[in-house]
Amino acid sequence: MKKILFPFYVLYQFLIAWPLLALLTVFTALFTICFMHWRNAEFVHREQQFWSRAFFRLMLLSVSVDGIEHIKPNQSYVFVANHQSMFDVWLIYGWLPVVFKWLMKAELRRVPFVGIGCKAAGHIFVERRNAKASVESLQQIEKQLTGGVSTVIFPEGTRTLNGEIGRFKRGAFQIALDLGLPIIPLSISGCYEIMPKGAIAVRRHRAHLHIGEAIDLKQYADPNEAIEAVRNAVIAGIPQR
């Protein structure tokens, strides 16, 4: 039955869902630009959440979240997540109940409306092939992590090709160490099945976001041990198939 309905679902995506989402993206970018001086305000965050949740609702996808109780109000965190697909961004943006800034790849700056909207929101672009620029990006994001504002980073650096979690890079951990902030692992599941890297159509599948307990990196003498501990916590939060 699913195979019979899938062609109609694809037509719905390209004729209805994606055009509506494109219009909503333009509106959200313009809204963010207009209120860029209040970029950390709750009403701006709510509108951005509405935009993100629309991707799941218009694509007829279900979402579940657990572990919200691990987040303390007015505490800044470094959130670290595995990266399964482009839907990870909307899952986190839509259901992580904190104001945060992305540390995102510089290529997104060139996406129409998305790039200028992200800049207005205070997100930081990273030139991954330029070591000096990468360090400057880390310094920029550190300046914003006060008063409960957090950051979310995909330490793998790119989306998985096979659904497996790759090696974690050091950037997120350096920020946490520099500022003495706890890391919270985010475990994403289901988004790979929805739209893996290279796919052009969405497939229906439940997405799940698990918010883990905060990890204080000071308990680890070896930075590599800390990175591995956080990676293991992310893996542990993904339901076993």
CA distance linking residue 21 with residue 14, whole number of Å = 10
DSSP letters spanning 78-104: EEEE---STHHHHHHHHH--S-EEEEE
Q: Which class for 75: exposed (0-12), middle (13-18), buried (19 or more C-beta within 10 A)?
A: middle
How large is the average pLDDT for residues 4-20?
92
| pLDDT one-digit tens code per residue, 146-168 | 889 999 999 998 999 999 999 99
pLDDT band at 107 (very low <50, low <70, confident <90, very high): confident
Does 143 have pLDDT greater than 90? no
pLDDT digit string, tens, across residues 167-206: 999 988 989 998 999 999 999 999 999 999 999 999 999 9
Question: Cβ(211)–Cβ(65) under 8 Å?
Answer: yes
Q: How confident is the model at residue 109 (pLDDT cuts 50, 70, 90)?
A: confident
Residue 5 has pLDDT above 80, yes or no: no
The b-or-e profile of 13-37 (16+ CB within 10 A means b, else e) is beeebeeebeebbeebbebbeeeee
Q: Where along the chain do its domains lie? A: 2-236
Tell me how many degrees the CA angle 103-104-106 measures, rounded to the nearest 5. Answer: 130
- CATH number of the structural domain 2-236: 3.40.1130.10
Measured between alpha carbons, how far is residue 30 from residues 18, 33, 97, 105 in Å?
18, 5, 22, 21
Residue 131 has pLDDT above 70, yes or no: no
Mean of pLDDT values over 113-137:
82
